[in-house]
Amino acid sequence: MGLGIKDISVSIPERIESPAALLEGLGYSKGELQLLSKYHKLKGTPVWDNDQMLDEALIQCIQSLKEKQSLDEVDVVLYAHSAHVQVPGDYGLLQKVLSPFSMELIPCYGISQLNCASSIAALNLAKQMIERDPELRQILLLCADQFNFLPNSWRYIRKSTMLGDSAVALLLENGGESHVIQSVYLFNDTRFHTGYYATEKEMGMFNQTYVSHIISGIEKVLSSSGMELSDLDYILPHNVNWTTWKEFLHRTGFAQEQIYLDMIPSIGHTFSNDAFINLSEAMAKGWMRKGSHYLMTSIGLGSFFGFVLMRH
């Protein structure tokens, strides 16, 4: 037993746009757009309508979760997001989100310092909280980002991926018996601290080390639990693009059918939520067998890498 994921709720926009449609008229070449769709296999990006507010997306997620699970034992709320500034300073986002559920007085903490790896950092923080205070019963982890209030050009990370909107709510339970956190590993490579504002040369250098960092990060989180890659049953990846995982498969010999890649063409990259959305889909389909070990990963510009080893 340990800190486990008791349940999960996901909110994804019904509106799915192709990268070509979102970037139309912005001066990108046909070849660059084909790189996204043909080689990276990014076919769709979820986009909230312009009038969809961030708090509304989060409320939808919590309401969906509450229909399945009681939230009466939640002692802490964590909110992970990639975009550092999402609302005006006096907006009171979490007050608006939690008030409909009479949870506005529960202690709340935000995590955004690791960009798209902030979701894994939030799981690590939750694990540390439980270790320091074993009396904590449940933690509600919220994750959400949306760029529907910005020009579509902000959704595009050059020659790499598109950024889609989504929201996720996870109910974490102390003493959980399934989907239990085994170990977490976080690290960053400060050579690429410019992140979103990196030059094309800097982005090229980052891409050269990117998969190597993924491989070494997975090896380290596994070794902390006395495991090797051959002991791992599944990977729930971040959905930045197909090319990343094609190279990973080539370099490691890991079996493609053991990586949940279904969501890359359908919704692509959704900031820090990819692995959690993949988990929700995998759970709904019964994709992972009971007792198996799986790994979730999320990677942020800057550059930040997050890995969590789980036991089903």
Q: Are residues 87 and 186 in the same domain?
A: no
Is 117 found in the same domain as 237? no
Name the residue type at position 204. Answer: G
Encode pLDDT of 113-141 as tens digits. 999 999 999 999 999 999 999 999 999 99
| Cα separation, 151 vs 131, whole angstroms | 43
* Residue whose tokens read 């449940």: 138
Count the domains in the chain.
2
Q: Which helix (H) or strand (E) holds 178?
A: none
pTM here is: 0.95
> Which CATH number is 289's domain given?
3.40.47.10
Structure tokens at 291: 């007792």
For residues 30 and 169, membership in a common domain is answered with yes
What span, in angstroms and rounded, lies between the C-alpha atoms of 239 and 275? Answer: 8
Q: Looking at the structure, do residues 133 and 189 belong to the same domain, yes or no? A: no
Report how far residue 312's alpha carbon sits from residue 297's, in angstroms, rounded to the nearest whole number: 16
Domain that holds residue 242: 180-311
Pairing of β 166-176 and β 138-145: antiparallel
Q: Are residues 23 and 154 in the same domain?
A: yes
Residues 42 and 136 placed together within one structural domain of the fold: yes
How does DSSP classify residue 36? I
**Structural domain ending residue among the three candidates 126, 153, 173:** 173
In this structure, are residues 127 and 181 in contact, taking their beta carbons and an 8 Å threshold? yes
10-54 per-position pLDDT tens digit: 999 999 999 999 999 899 998 999 999 999 999 999 999 999 999
Final residue of a structural domain among 141, 173, 205 = 173
Say yes or no: 140 and 267 in one domain. no
Task: Look at residues 173, 190, 216 and tell me which one is the last residue of a structural domain.
Answer: 173
294 and 188 within one domain: yes
